[in-house]
Structures are given as C-alpha cells and as structure tokens.
Amino acid sequence: MKNVYQLLDLKGQTAIITGGAAGIGLQMSYALGEAGANLVLASRKIERCVEVADKMSKELKVEILPVQCDVTKEEDVDMLFNEVMKKFGKVDILVNNSGTSWGAPALEFPVNGWKKVMDTNVTGLWMMCQRAGKIMAAQDYGRIINLASVVSHVGALPEHLDSISYTTSKAAVAGLTKDLAVKWARYNITVNAIAPGWFPSNMTARSIKEKGETIRKHIPLRRFGGDDELKTAVLFLASPGASYCTGVILHVDGGWISV
C-alpha cells in the first residue's frame, strides 16, 4: 500500500497548464510544481510566461518551459506539443485553463462575441485534449483536467453573470469531459473537470467590482475563493492517487451549486 505522499507525488512528470501564468492558472501551476512536476506554461502573452517561469523555477527547483500559444489556432497548438515533446518527451498532465468571456444581455448578444468565446473555451480546449490524448494513449497514461464552472449545470441570473456564451461553453466543457472520460478510459487516461465558483481574477474583476455584494450574498460561505483553494483540487485530480476517478466534475464554489 502506498502512502499519501507517494500517491500525490508528481516528480518526473510533465504538466501543461494553459493560461498557467496568471489568475487561477498560476495557482494551479504552483500546486503541480510544488508536487514535483515539470511545467509547461502556455499563454498568448509570452512575456508573462517567461517572467513567471523564471521566478517559479528558482522557487520550486523544477524545469519550466514557457510557450506562446493561442489555443484557437491549430498551428499554435501543434507547435506547443512539438516543443513539449522535444524538451520532455512526454505529456503526463494537461490542465485546460485558458478561457474568455463576453458580457451582454441574451436578447442582444452579438454573434461575434458568441464565436470568440466558443472558439477559446470549447474548440481550443478540444484541440488541446485531442493532441494530448494521442500522446497519452501511446504512453498508456494520462491525466486531463478541464476547467468547467459552477454555471456548467445551472443557469445564471443576469444580476450575477450575463454571458450566455460563457455559460453555454462551460456546459459544453462538462459534457466533453464526461464523454472523453468514457472513450479514453481504455487508454488509462482519466478526464475530469474542476468547476470553480467565483475567484478574483482578471476575467472576473469587472463583475466582482460591479456586482460583488450581490454575488457574495448568493454564496453560502459568503466569500470569494482564495489564493490556495484550487491547489489541492487540481493536485488530487492530476495525481496517481486519482487513478479510479474519471468523468468527475469537482465543484470548488463555496456551496453555490447547492443553493
């Protein structure tokens, strides 16, 4: 029987985190790096990735590869995996954290806003899953963790979130996660999702500023998520200890989904 330290140990593994240099992505990158994984930080903004990679490599004593990647561009996704395989020769963990939103009332929602969100949150995520899945299937091992949301399974009052494209995209992420979990189980690939509630970030800053008190009152714990409150969730789902968990949507939301 392995002890809990062995079950959560990621030493020698390679983890890709899209959007891993900022916000909740940075929090999850630290979690995997602290457990010993070598990291690939992917983002459209390479300067931030380079800056964070330099800082984290000194703190964590793991190898960190910063890569510029727009997940909506197939050539960028291919280039990312080529660079990862050239440097590390494998992909053990993929965290699909890149995402975007567009706010507008549903009756007036523009088609270009709809397409932008779907391209990033669904199509880009799918391309990352497929590329990683091919490598993981050949290895007979893999952990894929997608970022869903509390709004993957429930509607959102416009007083809380007025973005029909975002809520729809995150419902799609939950469905994709469950379907891939079933399809890829035979390759020893687990596919799970984390569904965060409201965490302060660049993407949520405006909503929290304008609607913060209304949102907070709807959260049973009466507060937003903190700087450390996604770390153990992503570490568990990425770890050897989660080998019998697949198709799971893990809510980290202060109780929002239970209201």
| Residues annotated catalytic, as ranges | 166
Record the tokens describing residue 144, joined without a space. Answer: 């894929």
Sign of CA dihedral 201, 207, 210, 213: negative
C-alpha 194: how far from chain center:
7
- Residue 104 is given by DSSP the state B
3-state secondary structure of 66: strand
3-state secondary structure of 63: coil
Which residue from 63, 69, 65, 186 is spatially nearest to 133, judged by alpha carbons? 186
3-state secondary structure of 68: strand
Which residue from 153, 145, 149 is spatially nearest to 192, judged by alpha carbons? 145
Residue with tokens 């992420």: 173
Helices (H), 61-201: 74-88, 111-118, 125-139, 164-184
